[in-house]
Chain A
Amino acid sequence: MVQLRLGPVTVGGVVLDNHLLLAAGILGTTGSSLARMLSLGAGGVVTKSIGPHPKDGHAGPCLVVLEDGLLNAMGLPNPSKEFADEITSLAKKPVIASIFGGDPAEFALVASWFKDRVAGFELNLSCPHAEGYGAAIGTDPALVKSCTHAVSVTGVPTWVKLTPNVTDITEIGKAAEAGGASALVAINTLKAMRISTGMRRPVLGNRYGGLSGSAMFPVAVRCVYELYESCNIPIIGCGGIATADNVIEMMMAGASAVEIGSAVYNEVKVFEIIKADLYRKEGLPSTEIIGCAHG
């Protein structure tokens, strides 16, 4: 297997401890949980998505385990502005605040609460199961551009997380780039559903949800590959990554770093495990690998 040499890692304006980030929505609700994941080897952490108002999220069931993935509809539960207190103790750590809003003004408002406390922003323009937020905005290139601009003007590195639930993801990627994004994060979950045959109803409280985990890794690789061909800012690959070889494959598709989420279900120490496999002193510099499957 290809292995990497671990040198300094800066992606989309954010200095990371390694190439592996904790994905948004996973163990990111509290400062102490984020600190724990950093201590367990994450090179950076993305917080739970924070919005303009506190939200309780959807009624349960909110998450079920499938054979090769997870299906969830949390409904963007978040404490809103109070979250600033959670991350006070993480100043100067590689913490990226995931934020969402219903329009550019709301994005700007939420960003203003955190801009002096975080290393970067990740715009959630991609949650597939929250009415009026996420993918409801992230499928419209004009809105993606204006929401991205509303945050990128803060000068804080601004990553934009994209939804795969579109015909052409590169159109959305280009809109984010035009709005001043410093990096693209691809991808959020695939809109999905399971029905409990015994109960004769959709198994999630919200009926619709998002599929993550190994089942959608090939979709994520394809999206990263397409974005690398058409955009000129770094890409952070996300979707079903569970092994060091998955990381290498995602980098070959064009990712400069990766986010890991669902794999935490099987093993909370997944970052340490992947790091041990991914890095060695005699490994290749990441620049030799990133995008090497193109051309």
Chain B
Amino acid sequence: MDDNLPVPVSILRVKKETSLIHTFVVDRSFAFSPGQFVMVWVPGVDEIPMALSSENTITVQKAGDATSAMFNLGKGDKLGIRGPFGNGFAKGEKLLAIAGGVGAAPLLPLARADCVMTLLLGARTENELLFVDQLDECTDVLIATDDGSLGLHGFVTSLMDDLNLGIYDRIAVCGPEMMMRAVLARVEEKGIAHKTEFSLHRYMKCGLGVCGSCCIDPSGLRVCRDGPVFSGDLLLKSEFGHYMRDASGRKKPL
């Protein structure tokens, strides 16, 4: 082992992606595989897991105390970074990526790696769609919005119905858990759950596979170390889409 204390970084600029999603550009780059995450230390507040949207950017949705505190930070303010951690998405040559909301953040570097043929991008409304232009530059983007303000009126799962899923060798999914569960049901029907991967979000304390706060039922696998990306067939009969645990370890229905 080497000393692996959080690496101090300074924020170079903050880009407002949507009203609730900001991208923080920092002054250090981190070599990573798409789908890996970092633990971001907001000094005096907390430390939370977040996706890297590039080697020097973190894209964050305002949700709890730590992310709200981050939204008050600007140029020159400091963060601590541990990682990257976790497994990331498996390699493929003909990928379909499916993103919901801030779930587009870890899928942007995957799309930029030039292996994503098609990307399905969903959000509640046009204003909440993340990375439309950046994704358009590197892959074929199909859009769905819950309110129909842009693209298909409906969910990303409806976009799946118009595709020949057989032409893709892997499917990578990241988004709200209910959306991912709907995608899992679709790929299970088609018998391709085993080639579909989902990036899970669970409460994490250590990020290193030691404390056990992010273990999933019934496998006991650690989201931070054995994941966060898991194969669909492993998630079929699991807590995924049903419940997760809070900081104390108590189960909370979705």
- Residue contact B220 to A36, C-beta cutoff 8 Å: yes
- Residue contact B48 to A60, C-beta cutoff 8 Å: yes
- Residue contact A79 to B219, C-beta cutoff 8 Å: no
A174 CB–B CB distance under 8 Å: no
- Chain B residues within 8 Å of A210, by CB: none
A20 CB–B CB distance under 8 Å: no
- Chain A residues within 8 Å of B212, by CB: 26-30, 33, 48
Given A27-B210, A30-B249, A36-B220, verify A199-B6 contact (CB < 8 Å).
Answer: yes
- Chain B residues within 8 Å of A77, by CB: 205, 213, 247-249
- Chain A residues within 8 Å of B253, by CB: none
What residues of chain A have their CB less than 8 Å away from a CB belonging to chain B? 25-37, 48, 54-57, 59-70, 72, 74, 77-80, 82-83, 194, 196, 198-199, 201, 203, 205, 213, 261-262, 264-266, 268
Given A27-B212, A59-B47, A60-B47, verify A196-B245 contact (CB < 8 Å).
Answer: no
Scan B217-232; emit 1 where CB is below 8 A from any A CB, else 0. 1111110010000000
The CA of A61 and the CA of B43, in the complex, are separated in Å by 9
- Chain B residues within 8 Å of A213, by CB: 1
- Chain A residues within 8 Å of B218, by CB: 32
Greatest chain B CB density within 10 A among A62, A67, A80, A83 is at A62
B240 CB–A CB distance under 8 Å: no
The CA of A83 and the CA of B8, in the complex, are separated in Å by 37
The CA of A90 and the CA of B123, in the complex, are separated in Å by 42
Given A29-B211, A77-B249, verify A194-B205 contact (CB < 8 Å).
Answer: no
- Chain B residues within 8 Å of A48, by CB: 212, 249
- Residue contact A74 to B47, C-beta cutoff 8 Å: no
The CA of A187 and the CA of B207, in the complex, are separated in Å by 25
B63 CB–A CB distance under 8 Å: no
A36 to chain B, nearest CB (A): 3
- Residue contact A61 to B249, C-beta cutoff 8 Å: no
26 A-B pairs within 8 Å (CB atoms) are namely A27-B209, A27-B222, A29-B211, A30-B215, A36-B220, A56-B246, A57-B248, A63-B210, A64-B5, A65-B1, A65-B2, A65-B3, A65-B208, A67-B2, A69-B1, A82-B251, A196-B8, A201-B43, A201-B44, A213-B1, A264-B209, A264-B210, A265-B1, A265-B209, A265-B210, A268-B209
